[in-house]
Amino acid sequence: MEKPKYRRIMLKLSGEALAGEKGFGLDHEVIMSIARQIQEVVNLGVEVSVVVGGGNFWRGATASAQGIDRATADYMGMLATVMNALALQDAFEKIGLDTRVLTAIEMREVAETYIRRRAIRHLEKGRVVIFGAGTGNPFFSTDTAAALRAIEVEAEIVLKATKVDGVYEQDPVLNPDAKKFDDLNFIEILNKRLRVMDSTATSLCMDNKIPIIVFNLNEEGNIKRIVMGEKIGTFVKG
């Protein structure tokens, strides 16, 4: 059997991805499909860490524009990510995946608190680790949390799940002729202001030389394809 290209991965799931067509809340079918895709790569011996967003419930910047203090709104957003983390854990465990949720904000009754060495130990034991509550700080995003945690646990790659099959020059939904990038570097993302990840997350990946693959999550089997070295989506490196 062919060996996976990556030993340890970081999967970034947006909150929106969990909402499916509904655009808000959680879609059970979508979450189960994600669980199955992760199981496929865990079965190959790949260690999987996940950072999940909260945009399907709450976004700090949007709430702040409507008048809530930004830091407070951001803390609310971080709590939203924990709801998603618990939903994912439930789905993963239903199909037999050993899973731990580690939160950046202590909530002992709900999940373990993030401790780097503990996260690594869980991964080494083959458990899927879901990081909740982002970085634990307002004014940051879960993309930045994904970059940060990936670097901390020494993941080899960040897989950023989206609804399209990579990064485009323009929004492919608005312009069907928009050009897709197969490869990009971080400086191009920053200079062209491509909306791959926010600039904090992009800089963190660039400075620490951790590549990102932007891919379509809705096509089942894509996570495994990437892990096995198939070139899909957009590959971003330094």
Q: Which residues are annotated as a binding site?
A: 12-15, 54-55, 59, 74, 135-142, 162, 168, 171
CA 12 from centre of chain: 1
Q: Are strands 167-168 and 180-181 parallel, antiparallel or unpaired?
A: antiparallel
Alpha helices (H) along the chain: 15-19, 28-42, 60-65, 70-94, 116-124, 142-152, 186-191, 199-207, 222-227
Q: Given the rule CB under 6 A, which of 73-81, 94-102, 109-117, 176-184 is the region that contacts ligand UDP?
A: 73-81
Alpha helices (H) along 110-213: 116-124, 142-152, 186-191, 199-207
Distance of alpha carbon 171 from alpha carbon 198, whole angstroms? 16
Give the residue among 121, 120, 130 at the shortest CA–CA distance from 99. 130
Q: Given the rule CB under 6 A, which of 14-22, 187-195, 200-208, 211-219 is the region that contacts ligand UDP?
A: 14-22
Q: Which of residues 26-55 bind ligand UDP (CB under 6 A)?
A: 53-55
Binding of residue 233 to ligand UDP (CB under 6 A):
no
Q: Which of residues 97-136 bind ligand UDP (CB under 6 A)?
A: 134-135
User: What binding mask, one character per residue, do residues 181-200 give for ligand UDP by CB under 6 A, x or -?
Assistant: --------------------
Binding of residue 59 to ligand UDP (CB under 6 A):
yes
**Rg for the chain, CA atoms, rounded:** 17
Number of residues that bind ligand UDP (CB under 6 A): 25
CB of residue 32 vs ligand UDP: minimum separation in angstroms?
A: 19
CB of residue 183 vs ligand UDP: minimum separation in angstroms?
A: 24
Which residues are at the interface with ligand UDP (CB under 6 A)? 14-16, 53-55, 59-61, 73-74, 77-78, 80-81, 134-135, 137-138, 140-145
